Structure 1
Amino acid sequence: MEADLPHLVAFMLGTGVRIGEALAVHWHEVDLEAGTVEITHTIARVRGEGLIRKVTKSRAGERLLHLPNWALAVLRARHAAGILNDPVFADTRGGYRDPSNTRRALRTALSPVGNTARRDLGLSLRTLRRETGMTRKQVANHLNWPQNRVELVETGRIKVDHELVRTLVATYNVDLEQFHGLLAQIHDAVQPAESDKLAWIRSHALRKTTATALDQAGHTARQIADQLGQAKVSITQDIYMGRQSANPAAAQALEHAFDDPDLL
C-alpha cells in the first residue's frame, strides 16, 4: 500500500520497538543470515532542525534483537524486491519518515469504512457543511476538535452517535429534528460494524501486544524490558540484575504467538 504500513507493522509487532526506533533502522543494522536487528537510534522532530536520527535515550535502548521468522521474512522480501534505501522503512523519497505522520497514517488505515450506512451519513454531513461554505478545518476549529475528525466522520471512518452528529450539524445551523431522513441515517450508522474491532490498535498498542505475548510465554520482566529497550523494571532489578544484549528465545515466543499467515 502507498503508506508502506503492513511491513512496518509486522516489524514493530515482531520486535516491540518504538515507532521512532523502527523508522531509524538502517540496512547495515539488519543481519538477514543471523536473523537479528540492532536498535541504536530513533527518529525525532526537533524544532528548527526537522527530522533527525539520534541515539536512543539510554543504553537500555541500544539492543540486539532476534527476529521471529515471519518478521524476518518481511525484511527479506523487502531486500529481495530491491527496497534497499537507508532507512529500511523510508518515505517516498528515500528519507526518514516522520513518526507523527506515520502514526496518523496508521490510524487512518485502521479506521476503515465501517459500513454503507456510516458512509452514507458521512456524505450527507459533507453536503450540509459545503452548503454553509465552511471548510473541514474551520468546523474543527469551531468545535475544538482534532483537525482530522470532521474528515473521519464525513468518510465514515469512525463511530458516531446522535450527540456527535447533533453537535456537528448545529454548526451548520441545522435543526436535526427537522431532518427526518438524516435521523434515519444516524439510526443506521450507529449500529456496530466489524471494523470497530480494530479501533484499539495504535502504534503503542503493537508494543504492548508484543510485551503481552512474551509475558504469556513465561519471559521475565527483565527479559521483556530488554526486548523493549526500557531502562527500568524496578530499582532493584536495575542495580542487581545484568542486562542481556539479546534474548534469542523472544523470537521463538513471537513466532508461535503470531503464526497466522493472514496476520501479515
Structure 2
Amino acid sequence: MDWDTIDMDHASVEIDYKILRVKGAGLLRVRRTNSDAGHRTLPLPLFAMRMLERRIVDADGVRPLFPDAHGGWRDPSNLSRELREARGSGEFAWVTSHVFRKTCAGVLHDSGLSPREIADQLGHANLRTLEHYIGRRAVGEAAATALEVSFGVCST
C-alpha cells in the first residue's frame, strides 16, 4: 500500500496492487490482485486510523506506507524473512503471515459476521476458501467495528 490508497477522510483503504520481484527488473508494483475479489475498498477500524495518523506525520512524502530502509517497496521475501527472525524458532515459530489472516477471519466469525462478509474482508472470490479460514466486494462497516472491538488500543 501507499499513501494514495488510503482515504483518511473516509477511513478506508483500496486494495488493488501487488509487489512482485521480476528477474532483471527488480521490485514492481503492479495493479492486479489474485482475483477480482482481491480488488476491494475496506473500511478501516479506529485503531488502524490512529496508527496511520501517527505514521503520516513521519512519512516525509515517502510513497510506500511501510517502506524499506531506503524508502522503497518492501520485498515480499525479505518481509517473510523479517517475520521469521522476529518470531524466532521457539515458542512463536508457528506464527506466519497467514496466521494473521486466519486470526482476522476467526475474530470476524466470532463477532457474528456472515461468511460472505468475512470472504469480502479477506478478498476471497468464493466461500469455499473459508473452509481454511471462515464474498463479494461490498464489505460493510461491521468488519472494521469487529476488529476495533477485538484489537483496538484506544489511546488518545
Distance 1:70 1:248 in 2: 14
Give the Å deviation of 1:67: 0.9
Paired-residue identity, %: 43
Corresponding residue to 1:49 among 8, 18, 25: 25
Partner of 2:42: 65
1:213/1:257 contact within 8 Å kept? yes
Partner of 2:100: 206
Residues 75, 260 of structure 1: CA spacing in aligned structure 2 closer, same or farther, 3 A cutoff?
closer
With normalisation by structure 2, the TM-score equals 0.86
2:2/2:63 contact within 8 Å kept? yes
Give the Å deviation of 1:41: 0.6
2:142 corresponds to 1:220: no
Q: Which entry has the higher C-alpha Rg, 1 or 2? A: 1
Q: Which runs of 5+ in 1 are unaligned?
A: 1-24, 112-157, 160-195, 235-241
Partner of 1:232: 126
Q: Which runs of 5+ in 2 are unaligned?
A: 129-134
Distance 2:60 2:148 in 1: 24
2:71 corresponds to 1:106: no
Distance 2:7 2:20 in 1: 25
1:90-134 CA-partner distances (Å, limit 9, x unpaired): 1122211101111111111122xxxxxxxxxxxxxxxxxxxxxxx
2:107/2:150 contact within 8 Å kept? yes
1:182-236 CA-partner distances (Å, limit 9, x unpaired): xxxxxxxxxxxxxx1x3322111111111111011111111111111111214xx
Give the Å deviation of 1:261: 6.3
Give the Å deviation of 1:40: 0.6
Give the Å deviation of 1:83: 4.4
SS at match of 1:224: helix
Greater fraction of residues in helix = 1
Distance 2:137 2:7 in 1: 19
> RMSD over aligned Cα, in angstroms?
2.1
2:3/2:64 contact within 8 Å kept? yes
What are the within-5 Å matches in structure 2 for residues 72-111 of structure 1? Answer: 72-111=49-88
Aligned length: 149
Distance 1:74 1:260 in 2: 10
SS at match of 2:50: helix
